[in-house]
Structures are given as C-alpha cells and as structure tokens.
Structure 1
Amino acid sequence: MADPRRAIPRTDTVLAEPPVAKAAETLGRDLVKALVVAAQQRARAGEIEPGEVVDEVLARLPVTVSSLRPVLNATGVLVHTNLGRAPLSPAALDAVVAAGGTTDVEFDLETGERAKRGRSALAALADAVPSAVHVVNNNAAALLLCALALAQGKEIVVGRGELVEIGDGFRIPDLLASTGARLREVGTTNRTTVGDYAAAIGPDTGFVLKVHPSNYRVTGFTAEASIAELAGLGVPVVADVGSGLLAPHPLLPGEPDVTTALAGGATVVTASGDKLFGGPQAGLLFGDTAVIERLRRHPAARALRVDKLTLAALEATLRGPEPPVRAALDADLGELRTRAEALATSLRSAGIDAEAVPSTAVVGGGGAPGVDLPSAAVALPARYATALRLGEPPVVGRIVRDRCLLDLRTVRPADDPALREAVRRCR
C-alpha cells in the first residue's frame, strides 16, 4: 500500500493557498511557515489527516504577530493589573492606530517649525483639570521625577502609614530613596497628625508627601492629616492620589481625586493613567505652573517621557466617548441582572449547568480598597474555569464556592455573544 504520508502537501503548496498566503502578508512568512511545518509534522505522526493540514494552519493562526492575546475579563475586577489594567476605548484604539505612522507629534504643520510635544493631549488634560500638566510613563515615574527635581539631597516628610508597597514588591520608600532624597518618617502606622509633620519640617525639607494607601485600609483608632492642613505648613505638598480619578464619584466616596486634592492646596498631584482614568499607562502630574515647568525641564524628564501612541490614547480617552472602565463603574445593576439571566437561560438551553447569581465586583489596581460594587454573574461548574482560560477567546473568571463565576460588570454588553459561545465550546 502507498505510504499515506506521501499525500501530505508540500510546504510551498500550503503557503500558496490563498488564505494562508494572505496570512503570511499580515503576520509574516516565517511565522506562517513555522505553523505549516508543525501541521505537516502532526500529519506525519497520524494526529491529523493529510487533507487537514491547511485547516490546521488556519486554525492556529494568531490574531496578531504579538504574543499578547485579547482576553475577556469576567473577573469582576475593573482594573485588573494582570490583564493590562484599563482597556482602551474604541476612540483611543483608533487614535493609537492613526498615531502609529508619521505624525505631527512635535511639529507645527502651519508654521513648519518644531512644536511642543503632545500639546493636544496636554491641553485635553488641562481642560479636564484646570492646572499646569505634565505626563510621564507611569505614576511611579511621576513620584520619581518629583523627588529628583524637588528633594534630591533633601528630606521628604511622609507619614509611616503611607509607606506603601506597590505591585511586584516595589516599595515607594525604596523608589524615593534611590533619587538621593532622605525620607523623614513621622507619626505611627495608624495615627499621624499635622503636628507630626510640622515638627519634622526644617531647612532640609524638599516637600511633604501624601500617599493614598494602595490595596489596603487602616481602620479603627486612626488619624491622618488632610492635604489642606499640610498645605498650611509652608512647604510644597506632593499628593499621590494613585487611581487617576479626576473628580469625585458617588460610588467611591472615600477615593481621593485630582480636583479635590488641588483645591485642598496640593502643589503637585500625581495619578495613574491606566486605572480609573481609563486610558493608557502613564503618570499624570497636575499642579502649580512654576513647579510643573521645573519638573518638565529636569534632565530626567526626557528619560521618563511618553511616546506618541500614549499621547494619542490619552487625548482620545479625554475627548472621546466614555472609556470602558468608567462604563463598567457606572453600569446599571438591573441591566447586569437582565444580561446574566439571558446568558444563563441561553446556556441552559444548550445543556449547560448555568445560573444567574448575585456577585460583587471591585475596582482593583489599588483603587478604592474595601469598596464593593454590587454586580451579577453567570455561575458554572468550577471545571469551566480552566477550559475557558484555554479557549478562544480566552475568558478569565473567578472561583467562588466551587463555582466558576463570570461577572458581567467587567464584560461589555457587546461581548455577551462571544462569552456565550466561548462557554458553549467548553461543554
């Protein structure tokens, strides 16, 4: 009998198939050729039929050349650090694509002269929060720049209860000390008064630092000095509000925001761009005109600056429609329940053990620690969690009481059909 392996199509024959050839144009010939060779090897091993090689290649084509894969976030964590924090709005994504080519990021088309970098994005930030503004690549970089420009060789006065650790073991005290500034710790873990700060201020004080505790709360017998109290001490006050909330939000009454911090007298306010702000990773600095200009002109500012893609996404987040994080935060609980019921009913009709259940979502990313957001979810058997993560598209939920919960507060309504089909494929 003839060897069936002789029926396996040649590499050049598979690459010439129209859908494969088109994929090679967008993803690169080397990547697609590697998939062809892998499919041929599976056919030689008898795992697939020779006539299935082309289908195997097409089934394994990635969405993009990048190894990063789009994921449906059904965890109920609005700003999930491990899933890239804030998803960009369609307007921001379009802006990034437009900015990916040659742009006028630092060029005035009218005069033909060099222009201020990112002027439109900075104007959008200043319109949202009237103040001087500057942008660096993340909030840690914003604090780093403040320490370098305002306190190198001097002291930074900070409350002991605000010496926080951020993601992956990075600690704010270590970050600040690396700039050559000295930390002057005041107060205790649970109680720090304005008098503690006042007693520590002297000729070597660069600024007082007020940090919003990230991922935890101190409750019980506590006290802390307000920004307004600290502003009366006669030295600059740098307030790290963390989550990027620009103005007060009714669902987050205890979450500090940029507008309130500036009104309280902060000299500089720093915040993240990829949390409650809802945009790309960036460190946002707002505040006193002279101080912000001093930060902007510091030599380290060049090393910390953002690229044109970030500037484009920032501006579009501010100028365009509501970003996904804000939409998730403001989602109507009744609508979430209706969606959960509809999804559960549809899945049950397909023979899947699914039910709509109450759920609790959180902001995440260090924002609004301790604040619960009522939500609705679809509950499935726990075994679905792994299968969903390994599916296409990957779906990430959470396990609660041996059930896999798919929380809809972090799933866009437009993605409900994709979520339903992802679950059906896991039967």
Structure 2
Amino acid sequence: MAGDPPRPAPDPRRGIPPVDTVLRDPEVVDHVARLGRQRALGVAQEVLGLARHGALPPAAVVDEVAARLGDLDAPRGTRPVLNATGVVVHTNLGRAPLGEAATAALVAAAGYADVELDLTTGRRGRRGGSVVDALLRAVPEAEDALVVNNGAAALLLAMTALAAGREVLVSRGELVEIGDGFRLPDLVGSSGARLLEVGTTNRTHRADYERALADRAPAGGAGQDRGPGARPDVAAVLKVHPGNYRVTGFTSAVPVAELAPVARGAGLPLVVDTGSGLLEPDPALPDEPDARSALRDGAGLVVASADKLLGGPQAGLVLGDAVLVERLRRHPMARALRVDKLTLAALGATLRDPASAPVSVARRAPADELLARAEALRATLARRGLAAEVVPHDGRVGGGGAPGVPLPGWALALPEGLAGPLRLGDPAVLARVHDGRCLLDPRCVPPAQDAVLAGAVLAAAGRAGDVTSGVPPTGGRPAR
C-alpha cells in the first residue's frame, strides 16, 4: 500500500550452505576422503565463519573450501625440474641427477638390504662394504675408504679425528667460502681444531709451510696450557682446492707433490680436499684435482663430494691411508655422519659405471648434437606459432668444479618474460636469463625429455599471453 515503509533487504547470510552440504559437494568430497572428516570440518567451519561475518559471499563458500582443502591435499616435497640452464652440477637443483642404474638400485634397496650383513656367513658385516670395495677399485692408490653424508662432513670428521684441540696448517689463499655463506675457517673451527695460516691471499710457497713447522711443539703437546707466543702444536696439514672461483695473475700455490714431503718430514698427515669428486684425471678438465693423483703425489687422506663430478648421490668420500681412515671410522662423530642404505645403493651403482651418469653425459655432450636438438626444438615451436632463435651458449660444470671452464653448446632464445611462467609450470623448467632473453640450453635435459620441454614452453607461452609476441631480441653479444 502507498505509504508503507520499504521492506528490508533479505539477509544474504541466509544463503550460506550448511556445513554438511559443503562437505558433500562434488568439489569437496574427494578431499574429505583423503584428509579425513575432522580436518575437513575444521576448514569448512573457518570458511563458513568468514561468510557469516560478511567477509565472503555465500555463493563462494564451496569454492573457497575446495581451494583450501586442495592446498592441504596437494603433494608436498620437492618438485622435479627440467634444468635448461646449461649448468651441469646445479646446487639449487640438488647437484647431480641420478642415472637409471642408480635410481633402480635406490628403489631395490628401499626394502630390507644387506647394509651390515655378510650374507655368506650370516654374521654382521662391514657397513656398505661393497661400496667401499667399489671405491677402492676406482681409486687403487687408496688403502681404505669411508663414506659419510656429504663433502663438508668428510672434512669435518677428518679435522675432528686428527686435530681436535690442536693446529692445522693451511694456506691463507685456500680459506674458501662455500655455498650459503659457510666458510672453511668456521667449519674447521667447529671441529675443535685451530687453523694456522701460512702465505698470503695470492701467493703461498713451500718455505711458508716449512717455517711454520720449524718450531712446532713435540708430539704429545695437545691439551697443554699454551700462552701467547707458544710454539705451534700442529696436528695436520690441510690443502683445499678453491673449486668455486679462480684467481689469476701474480699467484702461486704449493702442489700436493711438493707439500707431501714437507708434511711427511714433520710426521704429519696431509689432508687434501679436492672438492668436486673427480676420481681420476680428466683431459677435458686439466686444472681439476682428482683423488688418484693426489694420493699418488703423497696425500695421506683425500676428501671429496660424491654428488658433483662423480655424478652420484649426496655423500662425502674419504680415501687414503688405512690407519688414518680407521681413525676416522672409529671416531664417535662418524656414527652421526654415516649414510643410509639408499645413498649406499645409489653410490655403488654410480661407481660401477660412472661414464653413464647424467653429469658425465651432459658435460661431454658434443656441441653439434646440442645444436641439432636446439634447432629441432625451435622448429617444433615455430609450427605452433612461437618464434625463437638458436644462439651459441657456453654451459658450465657448476657445483664448485672447474670454475671458468666453458662447455661450448647452443641454446634457444625466447622472450625474457617466459622465464617466470616456465618456472611455475608443470613440469617446472629453469632457464637462464641473460641479456634480456630467456635461454633454454638442452645440455642437461635428457633427449627423451625434449618433447616435454617443447610442451612446457608452449604451455608457458599460452599463460604468458602477449609476452611472447614477436621475435625475441637479438641485440648484444652472444650468450657465451
């Protein structure tokens, strides 16, 4: 009737669905089954609370609950990534990818395995004995070997077992910083050993070591109360390969063959950290130290990583004098640093055929093969309307190995804006952004994955919209 007051608008909260209706919705019900009703109920009640307070439209309740449960239900953990950077040992991508044999061995060892059992006698055996035997076959100059959980652990155990409470002689030019801000002096210091530096940042000579050892305290001096000016109480000599950088110009360092007699003459073990895990000389990497050469030249112990140039799982290798290795093996810290059965299985398989490890295959990939793969990828994208260009591109060993050594190859150049969508795709693809371009180097992508890479690029281009329009910029110098 005229003059009647207007009716109030209906309360939108009347449209909020009941909680049971939400949990039975087809978009939600599968998540409820996997996560459990109680967990899903808590999420639904939280979302319904938002709706009751007007922070969420009632019509959006089911979608919001489904999205939140989907996030909880999504698989967690590491995601596989296609490495299109050209960096073979990429620390941020887990360093060395495992080969087929190592992966199969890892799966086979997932159940019960003869980790510390001698199947012949039925008695307890040496832990990882078959892997130690494989290491000794690969490095016959070593009398014994030990495997711990990474390269830094191998050095830490060596310093703790051999020099805790005493000095370790090291060149000042070898006090390196490794990944994420970790520094060698801090690592050695945590073992209880004290570094005694010799030489200068750019030049260290044999005489520097000899002078430092000339007045060393006699054996048995460990633990004595030593004030300022006391003679050094040296327990070991340490040589570290600075594998993640290269110093050029007016430089000098003392090679193992020259340093070994100095340590031997003082009755001290020489510990050599070769870093990258190269077991024998490689003509393609003439400046990269290897375990066999270091032991032949007189090192008492060699420590290295297994997940770099060797191409195995994350592990630390200790090779050398049997008495020294046994001292490390019997130290209480060795128990805390030991590896599990999966690492042992993958490492053993890698040692049986290191040439087939993906790291070895990728760093030795011929440039003409990489060119053919890049051209085939460009042609595939062109057929789908996406322009790209094949450009020269030098890969790198990476992972603290062979710094500055180029690995000649080729890459596909795309607009820079594709790098983000590629990283966020499924599968994730990590490219290199350089000179305003997104570069895809096929070196570290298994050839069987080339079609997957092409699909990932097309999908990323579709999500990126007009970022892919036109031909990628070609100005500037080649991405060498």
Both proteins in one fold, TM over 0.5? yes
Distance change >3 Å, CA 374–CA 194, structure 1 → 2: same
Q: Is the 8 A contact 1:241 1:257 kept in 2?
A: yes
Q: Is the 8 A contact 1:32 1:61 kept in 2?
A: no
Give the Cα separation in 2 of the matches to 1:12 and 1:218.
Answer: 66
* Equivalent residue for 1:358, pick from 367, 375, 392: 392
Matched with 1:394 is 428
Query: Which 4+ residue blocks in structure 1 deviate beyond 2 angstroms?
Result: 3-6, 8-17, 28-34, 44-50, 53-62, 108-112
Distance change >3 Å, CA 157–CA 344, structure 1 → 2: same
What is the deviation of 1:111? 2.4
What is the deviation of 1:353? 2.1
What is the deviation of 1:33? 6.5
* Equivalent residue for 1:158, pick from 170, 182, 185: 170
What is the deviation of 1:320? 4.4
Match for 1:181: what amino acid? A
Distance change >3 Å, CA 118–CA 236, structure 1 → 2: same
What secondary structure, in the 3-state scheme, does the structure 1 residue paired with 2:460 have?
coil
What is the deviation of 1:257? 0.9
What is the deviation of 1:48? 12
What is the deviation of 1:31? 13
Q: Is the 8 A contact 1:79 1:275 kept in 2?
A: yes
What is the deviation of 1:248? 1.5
Give the Cα separation in 2 of the matches to 1:45 and 1:415.
Answer: 45
Give the Cα separation in 1 of the matches to 2:244 and 2:38.
Answer: 41
Give the Cα separation in 1 of the matches to 2:21 and 2:97.
Answer: 42
Matched with 1:172 is 184
Residue 150 (structure 2) pairs with residue 113 (structure 1): no
Matched with 2:221 is none
- Alignment deviations for residues 86-108 of structure 1 (CA, whole Å, 9 cap, x no partner): 11112212222222222221122
Matched with 1:263 is 296
* Equivalent residue for 2:367, pick from 302, 309, 333: 333
What is the deviation of 1:251? 1.9
Q: Is the 8 A contact 2:28 2:62 kept in 1?
A: no
Give the Cα separation in 2 of the matches to 1:31 and 1:285.
Answer: 51
* Equivalent residue for 1:315, pick from 343, 348, 351: 348
* Equivalent residue for 1:410, pick from 444, 448, 460: 444
Distance change >3 Å, CA 182–CA 54, structure 1 → 2: closer
Residue 408 (structure 2) pairs with residue 374 (structure 1): yes
Give the Cα separation in 1 of the matches to 2:281 and 2:446.
Answer: 24
Give the Cα separation in 1 of the matches to 2:259 and 2:353.
Answer: 36
Distance change >3 Å, CA 4–CA 153, structure 1 → 2: closer
Residue 309 (structure 2) pairs with residue 276 (structure 1): yes
* Equivalent residue for 1:241, pick from 266, 274, 277: 274
Instruction: Trace 1:1-12 onto structure 2 (pairs within 5 A).
Output: 11=23
Distance change >3 Å, CA 174–CA 16, structure 1 → 2: closer
**More divergent stretch after superposition (8-17 vs 410-419):** 8-17
Give the Cα separation in 2 of the matches to 1:249 and 1:404.
Answer: 32
Match for 1:125: what amino acid? L
What is the deviation of 1:56? 12
Matched with 1:232 is 261
Q: Which of these two proteins has the greater Rg computed from alpha carbons?
A: 2
Identity %: 55
Distance change >3 Å, CA 45–CA 139, structure 1 → 2: farther
What secondary structure, in the 3-state scheme, does the structure 2 residue paired with 1:135 have?
strand
What is the deviation of 1:47? 7.9
* Equivalent residue for 1:348, pick from 370, 379, 382: 382
Give the Cα separation in 1 of the matches to 2:436 and 2:107.
Answer: 42
Residue 239 (structure 2) pairs with residue 210 (structure 1): yes
* Equivalent residue for 1:89, pick from 86, 93, 99: 99
What is the deviation of 1:59? 12
Matched with 1:98 is 108
What is the deviation of 1:123? 1.3
**More divergent stretch after superposition (116-125 vs 314-323):** 314-323
Give the Cα separation in 2 of the matches to 1:5 and 1:378.
Answer: 52
- Alignment deviations for residues 46-90 of structure 1 (CA, whole Å, 9 cap, x no partner): 78998xx9999999975xx44210011111111111111111112
What secondary structure, in the 3-state scheme, does the structure 1 residue paired with 2:278 have?
coil
TM-score w.r.t. the length of structure 2 is: 0.79
Give the Cα separation in 2 of the matches to 1:223 and 1:104.
Answer: 48
Q: Is the 8 A contact 1:14 1:54 kept in 2?
A: no
- Alignment deviations for residues 286-328 of structure 1 (CA, whole Å, 9 cap, x no partner): 1011111111111111111111111111111112461111110
Distance change >3 Å, CA 312–CA 68, structure 1 → 2: same
Give the Cα separation in 2 of the matches to 1:159 and 1:45.
Answer: 70
Give the Cα separation in 2 of the matches to 1:75 and 1:191.
Answer: 35
Give the Cα separation in 1 of the matches to 2:245 and 2:58.
Answer: 54
Match for 2:459: what amino acid? R
Match for 1:226: what amino acid? P
- Alignment deviations for residues 228-287 of structure 1 (CA, whole Å, 9 cap, x no partner): 111111221100000111111222111111111111110000100111111111110110
Give the Cα separation in 2 of the matches to 1:66 and 1:175.
Answer: 32
What secondary structure, in the 3-state scheme, does the structure 2 residue paired with 1:376 have?
strand
Aligned residues: 417
Q: Is the 8 A contact 2:166 2:235 kept in 1?
A: yes
What secondary structure, in the 3-state scheme, does the structure 1 residue paired with 2:412 have?
strand
Matched with 1:181 is 193
Matched with 2:227 is none
Give the Cα separation in 2 of the matches to 1:30 and 1:409.
Answer: 48
* Equivalent residue for 2:338, pick from 285, 293, 305: 305
Give the Cα separation in 2 of the matches to 1:149 and 1:140.
Answer: 14
Q: Is the 8 A contact 2:174 2:241 kept in 1?
A: yes
Give the unaligned 5+ runs of structure 1.
none
